[in-house]
């Protein structure tokens, strides 16, 4: 069994560990094997194995369990992998910022998204902007909400299209559209036979959610609707895409919460029911957020388009 040696000092670690080590462990976790990671990164399997041994040596514990079929992350390794992916995302944001400075902001608009491009309103909006301003380079970035907020503050992004009612600090905001919240079910699930499903009906169910946005906000909404822990369903959080969660539903491992625009891009064969409380259908708000000091002309054109389409006043800084 692989046993890493004692950890090196922090000074030694900084000299040894590089981004290639983080990319190697992330690829190995995604592929489930060193061979798959080597193919993904276009590297030698021996190089991937060596880098992973080096980072395990520095940390002082195993990130992966090795077995004949490949590798799987240890409990401690999963924590390291989450941090490694965060660092890699931040590095990508740094590169995006550098490119934005090099290219200047004129003729380029960077839009951050925490929802799928399959969302009908969003897809229509971006297509309309591209048709109206073909000379402007439109760049979209999909990341978790916290990463998007950091990229907006450091100038890597011009505007965010975000979900939920929580405003971002030190930004201006414009309300856009809203969508109904639905529950996604296997067709033979008992709740699928009802015309209306209430939040209280989810008690005793297993709700599968992705770590990706906007499902984190959907989880917060569920908690706000069902205040008592006894009334809440069991929550299972999976480190996979929302699409993979839908496939788990089709395997009868649980149900999930989705927005109505998700139905167009979701797995066929699932059943969707509107979620209600005593007041009526539950809805999820979409809004645009940007920094008031951003003088990018492309951003102003985009905001003007939003104002025309949604007739929504700008809410000012927060």
What pLDDT, in 10s, does the model give residues 11-32?
A: 455 557 889 999 999 999 999 9
Looking at the structure, tell me whether residues 308 and 167 fall in a common domain: yes
Looking at the structure, tell me whether residues 159 and 304 fall in a common domain: yes
Residue 96, helix vs strand vs coil: helix
Structural domain total, the chain = 3
Whether the predicted pLDDT of 265 surpasses 60: no
Number of Cβ within a 10 Å radius of residue 187: 10
Looking at the structure, tell me whether residues 194 and 251 fall in a common domain: yes
User: What per-residue confidence (pLDDT) applies to 311?
Assistant: 72
For 287, the enclosing helix (H) or strand (E) is: strand 283-290
User: What per-residue confidence (pLDDT) applies to 143?
Assistant: 79
Looking at the structure, tell me whether residues 34 and 51 fall in a common domain: yes
Q: Which residues pair with 161 in a beta bridge?
A: 113, 288
Looking at the structure, tell me whether residues 100 and 169 fall in a common domain: yes
Whether the predicted pLDDT of 303 surpasses 80: yes
Residue 19 lies in a domain: yes
CATH number of the domain enclosing 215: 3.40.190.10
pLDDT digits (tens, 9 = 90+) for 248-257: 998 999 999 9
Look up the domain containing 47 and give its range: 10-79
pLDDT band at 91 (very low <50, low <70, confident <90, very high): confident
Whether the predicted pLDDT of 73 surpasses 70: yes
Looking at the structure, tell me whether residues 289 and 173 fall in a common domain: yes
Whether the predicted pLDDT of 44 surpasses 90: yes
Structure tokens at 310: 């949604």
- Which residues are within 8 A (CB) of 116 and not within 5 positions of it... i.e. 6 or more apart? 142, 242, 261, 262, 265
Looking at the structure, tell me whether residues 27 and 37 fall in a common domain: yes
Query: For the chain, what is the mean pLDDT?
Result: 84
Looking at the structure, tell me whether residues 212 and 170 fall in a common domain: no
Looking at the structure, tell me whether residues 129 and 111 fall in a common domain: yes
Structure tokens at 135: 């000379």
User: Which of 113-122, 205-214, 268-277 has the weakest average pLDDT?
Assistant: 113-122
Longest dimension (CA), the chain: 64
User: What per-residue confidence (pLDDT) applies to 82?
Assistant: 92
Torsion angle in degrees (nearest 10) through CA of 218, 220, 225, 226: 110
Q: Which residue has the higher pLDDT, 201 or 284?
A: 201
Whether the predicted pLDDT of 119 surpasses 80: no
Cα–Cα nearest to 257, from 230, 225, 227: 225
Looking at the structure, tell me whether residues 225 and 277 fall in a common domain: yes
Contact of 286 with 179, CB cutoff 8 Å: yes
Residue 5 lies in a domain: no
């Amino acid at each position: 069994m692989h046993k890493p040696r004692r950890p090196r000092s922090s000074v030694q670690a900084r000299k040894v560990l590089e981004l290639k080590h983080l990319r190697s462990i992330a690829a190995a976790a995604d592929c489930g094997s060193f061979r798959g990671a080597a193919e993904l990164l276009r590297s030698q399997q021996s190089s991937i194995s060596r880098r992973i041994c080096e980072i395990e040596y520095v940390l002082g514990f195993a990130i992966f369990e090795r077995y004949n079929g490949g590798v799987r992350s240890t409990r401690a390794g999963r924590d390291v992998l989450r941090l490694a992916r965060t660092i890699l995302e931040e590095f990508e944001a740094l590169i995006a910022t550098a490119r934005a400075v090099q290219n200047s902001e004129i003729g380029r608009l960077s839009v951050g998204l925490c929802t799928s491009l399959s969302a009908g309103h969003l897809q229509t909006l971006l297509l309309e902007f591209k048709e109206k301003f073909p000379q402007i380079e439109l760049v979209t970035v999909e990341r978790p909400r916290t990463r998007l907020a950091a990229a907006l503050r450091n100038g890597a992004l011009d505007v965010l299209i975000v979900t939920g009612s929580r405003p971002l600090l030190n930004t201006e905001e414009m309300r856009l559209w809203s969508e109904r919240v639905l529950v996604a079910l296997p067709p033979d699930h008992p709740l699928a036979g009802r015309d209306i499903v209430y939040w209280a009906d989810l008690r005793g169910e297993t709700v599968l959610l992705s770590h990706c946005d906007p499902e984190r906000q959907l989880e917060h909404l569920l908690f706000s609707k069902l205040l008592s822990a006894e009334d809440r369903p069991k929550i299972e959080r999976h480190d996979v895409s929302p699409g993979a969660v839908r496939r788990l539903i089709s395997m009868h491992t649980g149900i999930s919460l989705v927005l109505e625009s998700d139905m167009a891009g979701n797995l066929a064969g699932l059943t969707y029911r509107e979620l209600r409380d005593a007041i009526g259908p539950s809805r999820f708000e979409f809004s645009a957020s940007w920094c008031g000091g951003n003088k990018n002309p492309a951003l102003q054109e985009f905001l003007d388009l939003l104002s025309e389409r949604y007739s929504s006043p700008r809410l000012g800084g927060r």
